[in-house]
Amino acid sequence: MANLKDIAQIAGVSIATVSKALNGLGGVSQETTEQILSIARDLNYRPNLYARNLKRRKSRTIGIITEDITVFNAPPIIDGIGAYCEKQGYHYLLENLRLNNLGIDPALDITSHNNIVNEAVDFMMSMQVDGLIYLGCHSHKVLHLPSIQDTQFVCTYCSCTDPSVPSILYDDKKAGYDAAKFLIGQGHTLIGVIAGPPTSNHSINRLTGYQEALFDSGIPYNPKLTLHGDWNRDSGYELAGQLIQAGVTAIFSQNDIMAMGVIDYCRQHNIEIGRDLALIGFDNREICTVSRPTLSTIDIPLFDIGYTSASILIDKIEGKSSDLTGEILLECSIVERESTKYIKKD
């Protein structure tokens, strides 16, 4: 690969002149500039960023550490991060921990998780990143690592629970509130919830929102209408039966997958979703448009979460930091489809 020296030699000028011409820093005649540009083009010159960044002592690069890139929420978040980076002339480095592939559960095997995170962080720091984004649900386990102490750090998708570190995520409680309010607005008062496991913060927060919506609407909260599933389809199927027995006219399933179980249960028991039962899911995954009825759901602003994360990090890096810190909650939105709308059949 051609370098400044090669160009300088051909043009018969010094390296400094070439550098100034190529970077448009002035002090070079127009004639010489044009000649240099033309030679650079001919040689297909591309600046060596290892040299440039070494000298400039900055990389304009941030690092993304993701627990697993194959999880459905990771790519849109990365996409959003990339969009903001591009806008600001930053680049990003991606380290995919491949936790699922490696069979590491950070909850059970803290040491392995720490080791693998440390390795990723070390690489990033060696690459002189200006800041780091951790994408995954175990950021709180990572916070105390010495390796991350000398860089800007931001958590995305989940809260790291440390008020001094920005966590950019979506507002589970508000989403739960909105889902319930939406169903209440359609006239429902007996609204069942198929929640996630009681150990899940997502689940608890969504539930709290649901309860607040009931309260605000003067509807008493009946704990028997809240059942905890395991996020999997079959638990949706099973719990649907119990809720329907209990007389609910609407179900808020805390993810789309369990809602598919509900749909199947209803079909088998001749309950027509839309007319006999309103159903709303959570996540807005692909299945929602493919199922029949199509599934109303809560859309998580994944792209925005990524975009906002990058913007907060880069603002911090550039010192124009607002004092944003702690949890930053983005709003979800309701996507209305057939499962909450009665569609008359032909």
Instruction: Give exposure, 12-42, as e/b (b: 16+ Cβ within 10 Å).
Output: ebeeebbbbbbeeeeebeeebbebbbebbee
Residues in CB range of 302: below 8 A, 6 or more apart: 73, 76, 77, 80
Q: Does 13 bind DNA (CB under 7 A)?
A: yes
Instruction: Tell me how many degrees the CA angle 319-320-322 measures, rounded to the nearest 5.
Output: 115
Q: Out of 10, 15, 145, 287, name the contact with DNA by CB under 7 A.
A: 15
Instruction: Give exposure, 309-345, as e/b (b: 16+ Cβ within 10 Å).
Output: bbbbbbbbbeeeeeeebebbbbebebbebbbbeeeee
When CB distances are held under 5 to 8 angstroms depending on the partner's kind, the choice from a second copy, DNA, none that residue 98 binds is a second copy
When CB distances are held under 5 to 8 angstroms depending on the partner's kind, the choice from a second copy, DNA, none that residue 20 binds is DNA
Q: Out of 54, 102, 246, 343, name the contact with DNA by CB under 7 A.
A: 54
The dihedral sign for the CA sequence 245, 341, 259, 139: negative
H/E stretch holding 299: strand 297-299
Q: Does 103 bind DNA (CB under 7 A)?
A: no
When CB distances are held under 5 to 8 angstroms depending on the partner's kind, the choice from DNA, a second copy, none that residue 91 binds is a second copy
Which among 21-29, 129-137, 198-206, 210-218 is the span making contact with DNA, rule CB under 7 A? 21-29
Cis peptide before 293 (omega within 30 of 0): yes
When CB distances are held under 5 to 8 angstroms depending on the partner's kind, the choice from DNA, a second copy, none that residue 16 binds is DNA
Closer to DNA by CB, 28 or 64: give it: 28
Q: Which residues bind a second copy (CB under 8 A)?
A: 1, 44, 46-51, 53-54, 59, 69-70, 72, 74-76, 78-79, 82-83, 91-94, 96, 98, 101, 122-123, 125-128, 146-147, 149-150, 233, 257, 260, 264, 267, 285-287, 289-292
Closer to DNA by CB, 25 or 102: give it: 25
Site residues for DNA, 23-52, by CB under 7 A, read 23, 25, 27-32, 45, 47-48, 51-52
Q: Out of 19, 147, 189, 208, name the contact with DNA by CB under 7 A.
A: 19
Cβ of residue 7: shortest distance to DNA, in angstroms? Answer: 8
- What is the 8-class DSSP label of residue 73? T
When CB distances are held under 5 to 8 angstroms depending on the partner's kind, the choice from DNA, a second copy, none that residue 5 binds is DNA
When CB distances are held under 5 to 8 angstroms depending on the partner's kind, the choice from DNA, a second copy, none that residue 3 binds is DNA
Which amino acid, one-letter code, is at 105? Answer: D
37 closest CA partner among 16, 19, 55, 56: 19
Cβ of residue 43: shortest distance to DNA, in angstroms? Answer: 10
Over the window 56 to 75, marking each residue x when it contacts DNA by CB under 7 A and - when it does not, the resulting string is xx------------------
What does the block give as tokens for 87?
A: 């806008």
What's the CA gap between 87 and 30, in Å, rounded?
30
Q: Does 17 bind DNA (CB under 7 A)?
A: yes
| Number of residues that make up the chain | 346
When CB distances are held under 5 to 8 angstroms depending on the partner's kind, the choice from a second copy, DNA, none that residue 15 binds is DNA
Residues in CB range of 206: below 8 A, 6 or more apart: 172, 173, 175, 176, 179, 195, 254, 282
Rg for the chain, CA atoms, rounded: 26
Give contact residues for DNA (rule: CB under 7 A): 3-5, 12-17, 19-20, 22-23, 25, 27-32, 45, 47-48, 51-52, 54-57
